Chain A
């Protein structure tokens, strides 16, 4: 693979210890494309969140477990976050990352009509991982995630937003671009390349 121009030395020097990938409308398809880049020798946790209807069990973890070469699990309360695992947020509860890098669930009011909310996950993960976090925001039809991305950015984490024109629904990525200056704004195919470069260089 030819290293793309946007993959700068500064970017190549980053060693994220955790990755968040989040989205809403159109997110399942986008994740299908993106997560196919996850290698069998995955060294960090990847935490995924899509907005889901409440009161319905999420099948996403099972769906992706069949397709990826690493374990895919629903994030559980008080569970230590393990490297090499892909996690999905379940439905009906907010998902946070604690300072000791374990998950916690909560059922406070929805944020931007969403529970789980991307802002909640990203903000708490940025507190736990600081500049060792990479956050990727994909397609979606509301503003959730914008404040979270801005907070990740403020804490020194890597922020990547899907190019709105490339997204199935532009609202979510556009709101994040307006809220913070993301490190990278890329079409999905390029984010997939980025993921390969970030995850394989260990």
Chain B
């Protein structure tokens, strides 16, 4: 017999609905298993007896909602995560990007910004950063603030350095940061042309034409309906033959947009918008 929804599943659905109605954050099309796990984690960490009890608090206290938001979103990221991806971006996409006089790049679901700084470093080393505008968007204001500050834990630097080197970095990684504020403060000039903005892939629309979109390990948290919406946004935003980068285990194959992007570097999940 197929199991019935247990109490926690029902409470979870009600919480997500309540969050949408009260705060206009739409998590209704996120995949269930991971969401349930993260909300149950929030229940424990915030000292509640159940998801319903958490809901009561969140509904009446915006500060509690902002705590919950840190669990509903997934701020796990690192610089140059999957170094081979960045190497492929540098070797196989940057030459195309170099043919444009000006570039617009969208890092969608940028979280705390590690992806943005990685992208900016790669672009600088390829001589492209000065002509680029980068839109870095996320729904979590706290993550965007961290991204803007550009201060990351020093203990991460060893991992980031290894990744950077494996990604074909051309300098010493330490050239890009100084020790400050109890962490590694990244060179502000890297984000001179970065616009950090609140944007929801679930509810907002396209805001600009772009040449490259990077959206890595974001859509794995979305169900098929929301994935289709997001592929639609990207397809609309990308210029003719524009580039789309996904996470290493993400795929367009199971979506409605399967035939509308061509794989450029299949292994690294780098695609181009197909000719219409």
With contacts A96-B34, A108-B34 taken as known, whether A127 is within 8 angstroms of B251 at the C-beta atoms is no
- Give chain A residues whose Cβ lies under 8 Å from the Cβ of B36: 124, 127
| In the complex, residue of chain B having the shortest beta-carbon distance to the beta carbon of A129 | B3
Indicate whether A78 sits within 8 Å of B254 (C-beta atoms), given known contacts A90-B249, A98-B31. yes
Q: A98-B33, A106-B74, A108-B38 are in contact. Are A92 and B248 (CB under 8 A)?
A: yes
Residues of A within 8 A of B (CB): 55, 76-79, 90, 92-94, 96-99, 104-109, 120, 123-124, 127-132, 155
Q: Assess whether B82 is in contact with A55, with CB atoms less than 8 Å apart.
A: yes
With A98-B33, A105-B220, A106-B74 as contacts: A131 and B3 at CB distance below 8 Å:
yes
A128 in contact with B3 given A78-B224, A97-B33 (CB within 8 Å): yes
Inter-chain CA distance A42–B4, complex, in Å, is: 26
Q: Mark B21-60, 1 if CB is under 8 A from A, else 0.
A: 0000000000111101110000000000000000000000
B33 touches A127 (CB 8 A): yes
Tell whether A106 pairs with B34 under 8 Å between CB atoms, given A77-B220, A78-B254, A127-B6: yes
Given contacts A96-B33, A106-B34, A130-B2, contact A76 B251 (CB under 8 A): yes
- 10 closest cross-chain pairs (CB), A and B: A130-B3, A96-B33, A124-B33, A106-B34, A104-B31, A78-B254, A105-B220, A77-B220, A107-B217, A105-B249
* Bound Cα distance from A97 to B31, whole angstroms: 10
Number of interface residues of B (CB under 8 A): 27
- B1/A98 in contact, CB under 8 A: no
Whole-angstrom distance between the alpha carbons of A76 and B3 in the complex? 24
Q: Which residues of the partner chain B approach A78 to less than 8 Å between Cβ atoms? A: 224, 227, 251, 254
B250 near A: Cβ within 8 Å? yes
State in angstroms the CA–CA spacing of A97 and B37 once bound together.
12
B33 touches A107 (CB 8 A): no
Among B32, B74, B217, B250, residue most surrounded by chain A Cβ atoms (within 10 Å): B32
Contact of B34 among A92, A104, A130, A132 (CB under 8 A): A104
Q: How far is the CA of A124 from the CA of B34 in the complex (A)?
A: 8
Known contacts A104-B33, A132-B2; 9 additional CB pairs below 8 A are: A77-B249, A93-B249, A96-B33, A98-B31, A99-B32, A99-B33, A104-B220, A120-B37, A131-B3
In the bound assembly, the distance between CA atoms of A132 and B247 in angstroms comes to 33
With both chains docked as a complex, state the minimum distance between the C-beta of A150 and any C-beta of chain B, in angstroms: 15
19 contacts between A and B (CB under 8 A): A76-B251, A77-B249, A93-B249, A94-B34, A96-B34, A97-B33, A98-B33, A99-B5, A99-B9, A104-B33, A106-B34, A107-B74, A107-B220, A107-B247, A108-B74, A127-B9, A127-B33, A130-B1, A132-B3
What chain A residues lie within 8 Å of B217 (beta carbons)?
Answer: 107
Q: CB-nearest residue of chain A relative to B77?
A: A107
Q: Decide: A76 near B2, CB < 8 A? Known: A106-B221, A108-B34, A127-B33.
A: no
Judge whether B276 is part of the interface by a CB distance below 8 angstroms. no
With beta carbons under 8 angstroms apart, the residue of A79, A96, A98, A120 that contacts B254 is A79
Taken together as a complex, chains A and B put the C-alpha atoms of A96 and B74 apart, in Å, by 16
Q: Which chain A residues lie closer than 8 Å to B38 at the CB level?
A: 108
In the bound assembly, the distance between CA atoms of A143 and B115 in angstroms comes to 32
Interface: B101 (CB within 8 A): no
Bitwise interface map of B from 232 to 264 toward A, beta carbon under 8 Å scored 1, else 0: 000000000000000111110010000000000
Residues in B whose Cβ lies below 8 Å from that of A55: 82
Q: Give A106 to B77 CA distance when docked, in angstroms.
A: 12
Which residues on the A side are within 8 Å of B3 (C-beta)?
127-132, 155
Chain B residues with Cβ under 8 A from A120's Cβ? 37
Q: Which residues of B contact A94 (CB under 8 A)?
A: 34
Most chain A CB inside 10 Å of its own CB: which residue of B6, B31, B74, B76: B31
Contacts of A76 in B (CB 8 A): 249, 251
Q: Which residues of B contact A104 (CB under 8 A)?
A: 31, 33-34, 220
Contact residues of B between 1 and 16, Cβ < 8 Å to A: 1-3, 5-6, 9
A108 in contact with B76 (CB, 8 Å): yes
**Chain A residues with CB below 8 A from B249, complex form:** 76-77, 90, 92-93, 105
